[in-house]
């Protein structure tokens, strides 16, 4: 199997593979980062149950976690990608974290993709517009 990243591609041995890779993209002008992570849903697990479990785990690891209820959303220019989204904030030690998050399952698979748009200060109109553009331009490869 050919595994591709922006800079290169390489062949992987023909064996079972679970992609748990993470990409972090930084936007210095806005002071934000986009974190793209991949994981596999367990048998019987749904997108919503996975997200709920991760929120509970996060609650144990951070302080002052606040979030808006998880909402269903449609992503991409043609709105063909079903996902869930939320906005949250928390403290981890002296650091404050403000983020938009979304997740979706690649159609026909159990592969979950999660995007977190993160900033150390409150997210304003410029960040919300940038996040909206990112969501609107999602296209499945």
State the pLDDT at residue 5. 86
Helix (H) / strand (E) containing 114:
strand 111-119
Look at residue 9 and tell me whether its pLDDT is greater than 90.
yes
What percentage of the chain has pLDDT greater than the value 90? 88
- Mean pLDDT value across the chain: 94
Sign of CA dihedral 7, 117, 56, 75: negative
Give me the pLDDT at residue 18, please. Answer: 86
The pLDDT value recorded for residue 47 is: 95
pTM given for the model: 0.90
Q: How many Cα neighbours within 13 Å face the side chain of 136?
A: 6
Distances (CA, A) of 49 to 3, 7, 44: 29, 34, 9
Question: How many Å apart are CA 35 and CA 28, to the nearest integer?
Answer: 14
Ramachandran region of residue 2, left (φ > 0), alpha (ψ -120 to 50) or beta? beta
Picking from 20-29, 52-61, 112-121, 128-137, which range would have the lowest pLDDT averaged per residue? 52-61
Higher per-residue confidence, 114 vs 17: 114
Cβ contacts of 68 within 8 Å, gap of 6 or more: 86, 87, 88
Q: What is the pLDDT of residues 64-100, one digit of tens each?
A: 999 999 999 999 989 999 999 999 999 999 999 999 9
Q: What are phi and psi of 117, to 5 degrees?
A: -110, 110
pLDDT tens track for 27-43? 999 999 999 999 999 99
- Of 38, 94, 37, 105, nearest to 62 by C-alpha is 94
pLDDT at position 99: 98
Domains delineated in the chain: 18-136 (3.40.1000.10)
């Amino acid at each position: 199997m050919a595994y591709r990243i922006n800079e290169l591609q390489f062949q992987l041995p023909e064996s079972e593979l679970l992609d748990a890779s993470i990409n972090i993209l930084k936007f210095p002008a806005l002071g934000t980062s986009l974190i793209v992570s991949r994981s596999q849903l367990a048998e019987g697990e749904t997108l919503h149950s996975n997200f709920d479990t991760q929120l509970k785990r996060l609650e144990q690891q951070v302080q002052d976690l606040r979030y808006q209820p998880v909402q269903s959303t449609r992503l991409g220019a043609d709105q063909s990608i079903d996902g869930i989204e939320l906005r949250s904030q928390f403290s981890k030690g002296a650091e404050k974290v403000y983020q938009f998050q979304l997740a979706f399952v690649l159609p026909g698979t159990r592969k979950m993709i999660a995007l977190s748009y993160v900033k150390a200060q409150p997210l304003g109109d410029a960040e919300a517009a940038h996040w909206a553009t990112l969501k609107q331009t999602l296209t499945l490869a």
